[in-house]
C-alpha cells in the first residue's frame, strides 16, 4: 500500500474502504490492512520527530560544552598571560638599554596590560554564560499503536450493524490522539530549539564580543611589529631584550588560538591574492592593483572567525577593483617580450 502523509489520511482511506465492503470479514480485512499501514506511518512520523529533538538536544549540549570549556580554560589562560606579562620587568638589563628602546618597550607592554584587563572582563562574561541552565526536554511521545488490540475490540460486533460504528469510534480516538500528541511534540521540539538557540547566541556573543577583541589586539600587535621594530635597528646590542619583549605578543597570541581551537573557533581563510567570497569576507574598500585581478583580496584589515563552518565574523578586507586603464596596463605587462 502506498505510504500516506498522516495517520488521518490512512484513517480516512480505511473508512472509505470499509464502507465499500459487503461483509464483516471484508471489513475486518480492510481494517487489519490499513491498521498495519497506520502503524508504519506512525513509526515514520514519530521517528522523524524523535530525530529532530535529538538534533536540538545535541546542539544545546555542544554549546553548553563550549561554555564549560571556557569556564575552565579562561582562568588558566588569564594566569598564563599574566605570567608572561609579569615577566616583562624593568630589571637591570632593561635599565641599561638606551632611553628610546626603553620607551618603545614600555609602550609595547601597555598593550598587553590592556589585554589582561580585557581577559578579566571576559571571565565575568563566561561565568554568566556558563550559568545558563540546560533544559531537560521531555521525550517525544507516539501513539504506539498495537495492531492486535483494536481488532479484538471489534470482534464482539461481528455480524451486527455496530461494527462500522465501532470502527469509526476507534478511528476517531486514534485521530484525536494523533492531533494531541503532535501538538505536544511540537511544543517539546520548539522548547528544545529555543533552548539550543539561546545557548548558541550567548556563547557566540561571548566569543565575538569579548574574546575576539583580545585576539584582534594581539594579532594587530604582531602585524605592527616590523614597523615598530624599525627604529630600533640601530640598537643591535639590545636585540635579545627587544625580541623578548616583542615576543610576549606571540606567546599570548598562541595561547589565545589554543583556547579558540578548544571551542571550535578557527580563523576564516583570507589572504592577499585569494578570491573574494562574500560568505567569508566583508569588503571595506577597493583599490587598483597591477599585480592582482578584479575580485581578489588585496589586503586583510581584520581576521574573520568561524565556529566549525559557521562564520561568526567575516574577515574585513580590501578588494581589487581595477579601472580599464589599469587592466590594460596589467595585460600588457603579462604579454611575453619579443
**Domain range list for the chain:** 7-263, 265-338
Measure the CA–CA gap between 147 and 42, rounded to whole angstroms. Answer: 12
Hey, what's the cell of 177?
490522539
Look at 133 and 90; give whichever has higher pLDDT.
90
CATH 2.30.22.10 for domain 265-338, yes or no, is yes
Phi and psi torsions of 147, nearest 5°: -60, -30
Q: Sheet containing 265-267: which strands, arranged edge to edge?
A: 265-267, 305-307, 310-313
pLDDT digit string (tens) for 189-201? 999 999 999 999 9
Q: Is the pLDDT of residue 161 over 80?
A: no
Q: What is the pLDDT of residues 1-15, one digit of tens each?
A: 344 467 777 777 777
User: What is the model's pLDDT at position 2?
Assistant: 44
Find where cell 539550543 sits: 196
Instruction: Measure the CA–CA gap between 93 and 71, rounded to whole angstroms.
Output: 38
Euclidean distance between CA atoms 276 and 99, whole angstroms: 45
> Over 60: is that where the pLDDT of 151 sits?
yes
Q: Judge whether 155 and 170 are in contact, CB under 8 Å.
A: no
249: number of CA atoms within 13 Å, CB side? Answer: 25
pLDDT-derived band at 149 (thresholds 50, 70, 90) equals low
With a cut of 60, say whether residue 132 has pLDDT above it. yes
Pairing of strands 281-287, 315-320: parallel
pLDDT value at position 3?
47
Query: What is the three-class DSSP state of 302?
Result: strand
Residue pair 24/163 in contact by the 8 Å Cβ criterion: yes
pLDDT band at 335 (very low <50, low <70, confident <90, very high): low
Q: Residue 229: pLDDT above 70?
A: yes
176 Cβ partners below 8 Å, 6+ apart? none
> Between the CA of residue 230 and those of 224, 239, 241, 242, what are the distances in Å?
10, 12, 15, 11
For residue 171, which of 281, 34, 78 has the smallest C-alpha distance?
34
How far is residue 196's CA from residue 193's CA, in Å, rounded to a whole number? 5
C-alpha span between 97 and 269 (Å, rounded): 40
- Determine phi and psi for 294, rounding to 5 degrees: -55, 145
pLDDT of residue 293: 92
| Residue whose C-alpha is closest to residue 49's, from 119, 140, 120 | 140
Q: Compute the mean pLDDT over every residue in the chain, rounded to the nearest whole number.
A: 87
Tell me, what DSSP letter sits at residue 296?
Answer: B
Q: Is a pLDDT exceeding 50 seen at residue 131?
A: yes
- Cβ pair 271, 280 in contact under 8 A: no
What local confidence, expressed as pLDDT, does residue 5 receive? 62
Please give the model's pTM, rounded to 2 decimal places.
0.80
- Helix 212-223 to helix 99-130 angle (10° resolution) is 160
pLDDT at residue number 328: 56
Q: Provide the pLDDT confidence category of residue 231 given band limits of 50, 70 and 90.
A: very high
Do the Cβ atoms of 111 and 151 come closer than 8 Å?
no
Count Cβ atoms below 10 Å from residue 75 Cβ, excluding itself.
Answer: 14
pLDDT tens for each residue of 38-95:
788 888 888 889 999 999 999 999 999 999 999 999 999 999 999 999 999 999 999 9
Q: pLDDT class for 20, splitting at 50, 70, 90? A: confident
User: How much is the average pLDDT of 241-264?
Assistant: 95
Amino acid at each position: 500500500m502506498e505510504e500516506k502523509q498522516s495517520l488521518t489520511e490512512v484513517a480516512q482511506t480505511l473508512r472509505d474502504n470499509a464502507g465499500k465492503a459487503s461483509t464483516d470479514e471484508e471489513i475486518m480485512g480492510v481494517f487489519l490492512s490499513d491498521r498495519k499501514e497506520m502503524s508504519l506511518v506512525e513509526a515514520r512520523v514519530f521517528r522523524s520527530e524523535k530525530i529532530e529533538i535529538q538534533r536540538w538536544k545535541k546542539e544545546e549540549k555542544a554549546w553548553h560544552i563550549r561554555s564549560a570549556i571556557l569556564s575552565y580554560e579562561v582562568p588558566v589562560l588569564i594566569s598564563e598571560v599574566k605570567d608572561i606579562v609579569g615577566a616583562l620587568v624593568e630589571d637591570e638589563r632593561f635599565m641599561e638599554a638606551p632611553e628610546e628602546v626603553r620607551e618603545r618597550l614600555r609602550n609595547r607592554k601597555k598593550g598587553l596590560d590592556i589585554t589582561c584587563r580585557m581577559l578579566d572582563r571576559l571571565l565575568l562574561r563566561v561565568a554568566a554564560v556558563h550559568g545558563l541552565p540546560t533544559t531537560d526536554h521531555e521525550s517525544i511521545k507516539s501513539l504506539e499503536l498495537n495492531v492486535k488490540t483494536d481488532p479484538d475490540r471489534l470482534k464482539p460486533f461481528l455480524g451486527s450493524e455496530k461494527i462500522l460504528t465501532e470502527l469509526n469510534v476507534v478511528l476517531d480516538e486514534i485521530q484525536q490522539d494523533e492531533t494531541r500528541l503532535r501538538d505536544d511534540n511540537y511544543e517539546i521540539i520548539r522548547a528544545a530549539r529555543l533552548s539550543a538557540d539561546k545557548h548558541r547566541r550567548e556563547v557566540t556573543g561571548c566569543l565575538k564580543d569579548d574574546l575576539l577583541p583580545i585576539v584582534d589586539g594581539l594579532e594587530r600587535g604582531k602585524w605592527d611589529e616590523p614597523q615598530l621594530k624599525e627604529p630600533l635597528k640601530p640598537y643591535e646590542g639590545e636585540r635579545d631584550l627587544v625580541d623578548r619583549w616583542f615576543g610576549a605578543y606571540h606567546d599570548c597570541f598562541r595561547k589565545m588560538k589554543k583556547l579558540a581551537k578548544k571551542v571550535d573557533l578557527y580563523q576564516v581563510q583570507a589572504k592577499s591574492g585569494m578570491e573574494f567570497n562574500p560568505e567569508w569576507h566583508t569588503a571595506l574598500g577597493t583599490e587598483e592593483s597591477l599585480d592582482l585581478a578584479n575580485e581578489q583580496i588585496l589586503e586583510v584589515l581584520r581576521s574573520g572567525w568561524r565556529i566549525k563552518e559557521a562564520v561568526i565574523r567575516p574577515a574585513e578586507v580590501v578588494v581589487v577593483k581595477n579601472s580599464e586603464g589599469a587592466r590594460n596596463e596589467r595585460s600588457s605587462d603579462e604579454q611575453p617580450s619579443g
